[in-house]
Structure 1
């Protein structure tokens, strides 16, 4: 996976969310992927805070049913424009969409972008699914994945 972000480095302030005490522009990075495994019928892209103080992390973006001929998400403000066929599932805020990092004061958090190559064209769930339910189906249908970890501290 390629991105305009540097792996394992702190992300620029513009990528932060603009709520909960953060003052970013809520930008999602451009993500590009290649070399999907044979049998890939669709992709999913997730953005997850591994270090959120919840006991189970925090989902910032969950997009699935991205057609197999698509190999990038453009990114941009509020996540940017998605392919028409893609479904943006609920985040851990209880609504669909994208929101950038805004960790509480303290240590840096690890945020992970993951592109999942899936063996089905469409996951058998609707747009109101929780991130955990989407993750359950991603686990069952994942052929491969690529990860990009970035760091974010309180701003």
Structure 2
């Protein structure tokens, strides 16, 4: 059985509901995963848009997720540390936590990838880390990865 990531809010490849975007309340969608690899000590979630005009745009960086978690609730608080959930980094909006899809008007639908990494360690990553900092620190500790994708356009 493979490591899988899903969301009860939208199907893979389908439109992300408006409430999870900058056009509405901009809260994080619920996510669920299963079959976390044996030996996982922590998880990292990164959400990004590879279709942004400036290149890959990071929407969410969440790390040190406990290995026994199997889901994230809707509307994870936008605070540096979320009790029982993990530590959040800085997104490319310059803010802590989740920043939803907000593509330029008139563009083709952008793709938003949620990538979940299983690690064989609990890395020592400072609060407010960037995606690049997190990926650099975890690169030799990844024992599994899975992704889920939704789209959005305005």
| Same fold, TM-score > 0.5, yes or no | yes
Per the alignment, residue 2 of structure 1 pairs with 6
Structure 2, unmatched stretches of 5+, are none
Maintained 8 Å contact 1:78/1:99: no
After superposition, what is the alpha-carbon deviation per residue over 1:92-149, rounded to whole angstroms, capped at 9, x for unaligned?
Answer: 122311111010121111101111111112x222013222111222332211111111
Maintained 8 Å contact 2:58/2:91: yes
Query: What is the TM-score when the length of structure 1 is the normalising length?
Result: 0.85
Instruction: Give the Å deviation of 1:78.
Output: 5.8
CA RMSD of aligned residues (A): 2.0
- SS of 2:139 mapped into structure 1: helix
Matches within 5 A, 1:1-155: 1-4=5-8, 5-17=10-22, 23-55=23-55, 57-76=56-75, 82-84=82-84, 86-105=86-105, 106-121=107-122, 123-154=123-154
Maintained 8 Å contact 2:66/2:84: no
Maintained 8 Å contact 1:26/1:78: no
Structure 1, unmatched stretches of 5+, are 18-22
Query: What is the TM-score when the length of structure 2 is the normalising length?
Result: 0.86
